[in-house]
A and B are shown apart, each in its own frame.
Chain A
Amino acid sequence: MTDTNMTAMTRTAAAPAVRATLPPPVRFRFWVWLWGDKRALISLAYLSVLVLAAIFAPLIVPYAPNKQNLMDLLAPPSGAHWLGTDDLGRDTLSRLIYGSYNALYAASLAVGIGVAIGVPLGVFIGFVGGWVDQVGSRIIDGVLAFPPLVLAVAVTGALGIGLTNAMIAVGLAFAPVLARTMRAQTLVVKNALYVEAATGFGASRLHLILRHILPNAIQPVIVEVTLMLAVALLAEAGLSFLSLGVQPPESSWGGMLARAYHYVEVAPEQMYAPGFAILFTALAFNTLGESIRVLLDPTIKRR
């Protein structure tokens, strides 16, 4: 916690020095940054392609994802099936593309729920302070004590198996992490001079929170959220592997791995495509998150 305090303080102190190097005009700044950070550029390009593939999946897949061909089971990659077929003769590439929709939907849903609960909670208890903060912080600690996936499995079991419920469960596990960060940031920002000034001018509490505290406290959360997308993606794959997430016949990368593992001795090549899809996507989210961290925090030296 003292760590974030420190960075927040050095950030304000270092700001004039950074400004002095004449930044590019505001509307180009994003592109200049992106061009200067090749890792972020590649990650963002990859994720954009993935999002497009997920949206336009019905238009670009070579086969319907659930179309079975029992004459062509567990086929190796060929001209007709670029990535081969699964144990029901379904085209692996088509299922992989459809799986990207479920992966991105799942990751956004889980992180969205985490943000929707965690951010307001963290700002609230940090802003109000006193016994509200005491109680709120203990609740956060209590939920954080759970191994996240154990909590997610238990909550999914309670809500009922299925992708949406599984991701609500993961989101519930994320919420305390974001709440803790947001609380710590709020505590720092709350005592800043400009907040004091706004209070002096008679700003309402809501105005203070929405216009001054939230925008200035949210930066670490943006980084955390990007990194969490990777965690959520891995959680979706894992829960679907355990058949607690995406239900057949819908396709998911984790579910594809579960089937591939079943037939690994017959068709070992089936396990590579979904695995690499998960790995690359998680890697892209992580890389982007780290790049945003460096961008937002001038005290970290750029690589």
Chain B
Amino acid sequence: MKIKGEEEFVEMQINRWKPINILIIEDSEDDYELIKRRIRREGYNLNTMRVETAEEYEAALVDEDWDVVISDNSLPQFNARSALEITRKKYPFLPFIIVSGTIGEEAAVEAMRLGANDYLLKNDLARLTPAIEREIRDARTIKAKNAADRALKESQERYRLLAENIQDLVCLHSPDSTYLWVGPSTDRILGYHAEELIGLKHLDLIHPDDLKDQEINLFEQKGENNGKPFSYRMRRKDGVYIYLETMLQHVYEGGQLIRIVSTSRDITEQKLAHNLLTESEAKYQGVIESIAEGLILYDDRGHIVTFNKSASRILRTKTTSVRKFEKELTERYRFFKPTMEVFPLDNLPSKVTLRTGKPCSQVIMGVKDRGDLIWLSVNSEPFLQPNDRIGVVVSFSDITEQKVYEDRVTAVARELTTLIDTANAPIFGIDWNGRINEWNQVTAKITGYSKTEVLGKKLIDEFILDGYKVAVTDLLKNALRGKEVTNYELPIYTRTGKVVTILFNAAPRRNLDSEIIGVIGVGQNITELIEYRERLEMKVAERTKELNEALQKEKELVALKSKFVSMASHEFRTPLSTITFATNFIKRYKSKLGFDEIERKLDKIEEQVGHMTYLLDDVLLIGKSESGKIKLHRVVINIKDFCKKIIEEVTHSTKQSHKVLFSIVTEKKEIAVDEKLLRNILINLLTNAIKFSPGKDKVLLDVICAHGLLNMQVKDWGMGIEKEDQEKIFEPFHRTNSAGAIQGTGLGLSIVKKAVELQQGSVEVDSEVGKGTKIKIQIPLVDEKDISN
């Protein structure tokens, strides 16, 4: 700071009317007034205060900013010397002028020595104003100088503190980098004391590899790059290299480089961290470069930031320039949807993600330049850029091969679907949960349910008959476990409630990974076949039954026949015995016998021969009827006349032992019957009735012919038939216990039964032992006009 006294003075002259503050130490009011008058006379706007004691003086010093102190030399309670001491302690530069009545040379010298600025006599006050003016001026000069000194000193102090306390190493070099001055941080940063470095060259401590760097030359060049930091490795005293970041300040004097100030900072830690970061970034970059997926990074404005090698490989581009790549991407390629429609550029995953902030995944798109169509699966993800804005990472892979393969598979699948749907056999499928997921046209036709109606429904619940549910569930489970089922007959419900049978083969259905995902059933509608088979089986069973019955009948018949033969032979033996004995008798005693006796024997022989003839006829009749040889031979007869004739015959043959009571009610006189069979029936029944009612005199014959039925009833009042015998009387040769000596062939009722049955009629017995027997015959009649001869 430069002080210019002249200017200050001028300013002072001009500011004469400025107030001037003067503190006056004076015990005499008159003297005080005198001094004041003297100064005001000079034109000053005076502001004064008078004090008489040390206390007053000290208080006044503090209260006001005084320009000058004027003091009497000696006061009753105070003196100039004490006042001066007080003043100088606090205000070394406050002008202090002693005004005394008397003063010796010695006191004046002493006062000056103590710091008084001037010494005047009261009778010489003319000097006062110039002295005041001078002292004020001097005091201001000193004050200003002091302030400048202080400011400089403070500034110097601040720089010193700065240089000594800053972490950075501040050094002063000569132009050849020799250390001239070294900051205190050197101990900490370089391990050298400052004095150790002085005289060494900075460049000598730099890592040889880093010396090649351009910035290092700044030490030697008259650099233009002042202020730009650069980093390099520097050898510490212990030999370890540390990273320094240094700023250089070149100091010129007269156009000549004279000094270089360097400020260096230890950035080893940062540098290592940076290296680590660089390394990891390099790794990351390596990963990005080496992965097979194409990657493109977009910034928030949709411009490409970077892309990897796979991206250019997949997109068949050779450029490595981001700008060119972006240009190619927007101009060279055309994009397609899987349907081969043009892919709207606004819907590109990168743009969608950029717009919405949401990721897009698995977008399939075709990309075509002049060459082949490339199919890509594209994902895009938003990411936070270092500027806190959202950018987009787009990753994509070439799925052209898969796409082509998939297209082929799709075509095959479509073909298969068509095949399933149109196959001329019922085909249906279920998923892992048993729900229908396949239902072809034939199945729909057979069941009456359309595909849309059944999809998702449970096959077992909806279509399988209760009795088969468990079995079919097992079967489907087996198929789901990978076991094929063949030729299973599956009855299923149709819409109409009818059951159709499907001959069913079930095979597991697998996905591309060969995992079983369901069952596919291929069938054949065998309902008709089943029905046919069932009919056939039924027929076979029927036939078998018939055959068994026939066989049984045949067996019975054989047994019956053999029994019949044995019984018939037995029946023949008795009359034969009588005949033999009778003839033997005649032969043996013919000489002794009279004619009458011989006649009697011959009659007996004839009678037995006659009986045998009846027997033979009956046997033959039975035999014929049993071998089915008797054919109905209907003729039209007058039933009443016919009956009467039979009654006459029977009455005659039984020697009129009984009267036959006859009643007849008939719609028609003439009916069509088998005359021989009817005759057999009536003769046998009437003869039996008479034979088995010995001692009685009548039997009854009732005939009713109406409603197409011929009802005949023969009744006697004879011995009757035991309950247990009533069923057996129709068996050949069965003779009841009560038959006793009553003659008969034993075939009569057998013949009646056969004769009735041949005419589709029926026989009924109603008998009570001791009371009599009633036998009812019913024969359906045919119209006499229908009979054919």
**Do the two shown chains form a genuine complex with each other?**
no
Chain A interface (Cβ < 8 Å from any Cβ of B): none
